[in-house]
A and B are shown apart, each in its own frame.
Chain A
Amino acid sequence: MSSVSSKQGSRFGALGVYAVIYLAFIYIPVMFLPLFSFNDSIFIAFPLKGFTLEWYRQLANSEGMLDALYNSIKLGCVVSVLATLLGTFAAKAVTRYRIPGRGPVITFIMLPLVIPGIIMGIALLVIANMSGVGLSLFTIGLGHLMVSTPFAMLVMVSRLEGFDKNLEEASKDLGDNPWATFRRVTFPLALPGIVASLLLSFTISFDEFILAFFLAGTETTLPVYIWGQLRFPTQLPTVLALGACILMISFVVVTFAEWYRRRGVQLKTNSGV
């Protein structure tokens, strides 16, 4: 370690500067949304004209937006609970049981992460159309469940791998039945993973656009509503206000989820993900 760490001081500089610039590149473009959402002008341009909450007031009175918001929250809650349930069982199966075909099974479950969204969207649109299942929040929900389950499973796998299998065995040997073992050992240890998985699946569903765009019936979700509003230049400031709210909520929820999850993982293995 000595030869590596001794150079640390001297080389932190250049790489450190790069890292800060990189973070600025990631964060600054997005910051323009909240900045202009408080600007007292219909045009999104410099110079800033002064502070206003008008766009937020208009937003709060927009019925279409509130409907879409309600749909998105409803969808996010259902999807996050189901995805976490499926992800937890799947994670437990691949971490605790010796099962034949483990590799291919994991690859199969992770496939939604690498299939382009547009292709998944039209494939689901085609099957919904042919099977006569009408487009609704239900069809969007199925799509969202498919994309969030792999994430839920990844979160749970890293959590379950982080704690000692022997703890469960010890509980079993001391005479606990499977339910008691689950309640007293497995669940408390898996809890940070479960909370993180719920929050992250909710965020995925809440922010997902492409699948919802293809699978939406008469009821839309918030991103689809935003997409519709982008066509009207006069609506842009309100969209900015909405975008700023969404970004802030996502930011807070995800930061908490990641902090809560990684804190537990890091104590054990000192490596994230």
Chain B
Amino acid sequence: MTDHVAPAADVIAHIPRGPIARFRRALMRSEALSGYTMLSPTLLLLILVMALPIVLLVVFSFWTQNYTDIDKTFTLANHIKFFERSAYPYLLGKSVLISSSVTLITVLLAYPMAYFIAFRVTKHKLIWLILITVPFWTSYLLRVFAWKIILGYNGVINSGLIEIGLIAEPLAFLLYNPFAVVLTLAHAWAAFAILPIYVSLEKIDRSLLEAATDLGDGRLKRFIRITLPLSMPGLIAASMLVFIPTVGDYVTPNLVGGTSGTMIGNVIQSLFGRGNNWPFGAALSIITMITITAMICLFLWGTRSFRRRVA
């Protein structure tokens, strides 16, 4: 037997494997090729309309503006200006603080809701999902504007409370402060937090929960040891989806923030509008983006070490 096998193996070893292998490689390559052909319009669009503008914005931040002319000599003047005037770092810090509060509140409020839909709703899941998704798509501007008319000096709350005789004078502290910004943002971004958390909860293998119960875990212990760690990806995604856009938000601080609720987005906008200093505005945007990225990295590192400790 071995005599017969040996030559056979020898022959196979010497068969020009080229054609099959080459065919297989070509097939693989063509699959990759067709894949990328189908992706190419999207990739091209995003390179031209997203990546290129961002790169240009970075370049722009190293230039300076002389009245109406752009001086294209490379300089760090804009970045130095940011750190020299304490007002700018302060404003960025405040924006990060406001966004962090909003993220924390939104995620904490969203978790029980997502948990409810994932584990408690059995019959009309579709209706619940639609109910929480719909606000996600409706006008952000109008959702923020609603709070302006609710919290205003002559707004819904004040006029309502006066009407029923609870207060005599309108409460001036409702609108135009950082708390109004936090409240409005927490409301406007609520839907963004529920979905990712819901998806991660829905994915949890129910038999794991059963196993934990069978092994004597109580509800709380089971939640902390199984449900919470397994829903971490959703929690992380939700936090990022809320935190990143809110740091640079412009609409909410403009409508309900007043002077004390001003955020970095308002300054960036004014530099491209009335302030008319585009390169400095570009530098401010880039510094904001770097800060956001750094915060996200810190957050991911923190949650990873937390997960490791739980595991």
- Interface residues contributed by chain B, number (CB under 8 Å): 96
Q: Which A84-125 residues sit within 8 Å CB-CB of chain B?
A: 85-87, 89-90, 92-94, 96-100, 105, 108-109, 111-120, 122-125
Bound complex: CA A146 to CA B48 (Å) = 10
Bound complex: CA A62 to CA B195 (Å) = 39
Interface of chain B, main secondary structure: helix
Contact flag A209-B126 (CB < 8 Å), given A105-B43, A119-B285: no
Contact status A109-B46, CB under 8 Å: yes
Contact flag A214-B272 (CB < 8 Å), given A26-B191, A45-B155, A122-B285: yes
Instruction: Determine whether A33 belongs to the interface, using a CB cutoff of 8 Å to chain B.
Output: yes
Q: B178-192 interface mask toward A, CB cutoff 8 Å, 1 = contact, 0 = none?
A: 000000000100110
Residues of B within 8 A of A218 (CB): none
Instruction: Determine whether A263 belongs to the interface, using a CB cutoff of 8 Å to chain B.
Output: yes
Bound complex: CA A22 to CA B122 (Å) = 19
Q: Which B101-147 residues sit within 8 Å CB-CB of chain A?
A: 109, 112-113, 115-117, 119-120, 122, 125-126, 128-135, 137-143, 145-147
Interface of chain A, main secondary structure: helix
Residues of B within 8 A of A226 (CB): 141-142, 145
Bound complex: CA A43 to CA B50 (Å) = 43
**Which 9 residue pairs are nearest across A and B when measured between Cβ atoms?**
A116-B248, A45-B159, A97-B35, A99-B35, A123-B53, A93-B38, A207-B139, A46-B159, A250-B138
Instruction: Determine whether B295 belongs to the interface, using a CB cutoff of 8 Å to chain A.
Output: no
Contact flag A29-B241 (CB < 8 Å), given A123-B54, A146-B45: no
Instruction: Determine whether A16 belongs to the interface, using a CB cutoff of 8 Å to chain B.
Output: yes
Instruction: Determine whether B150 belongs to the interface, using a CB cutoff of 8 Å to chain A.
Output: yes
Contact flag A227-B141 (CB < 8 Å), given A99-B35, A271-B199: yes
Contact status A18-B35, CB under 8 Å: no
Contact status A122-B272, CB under 8 Å: yes
Contact status A254-B146, CB under 8 Å: no
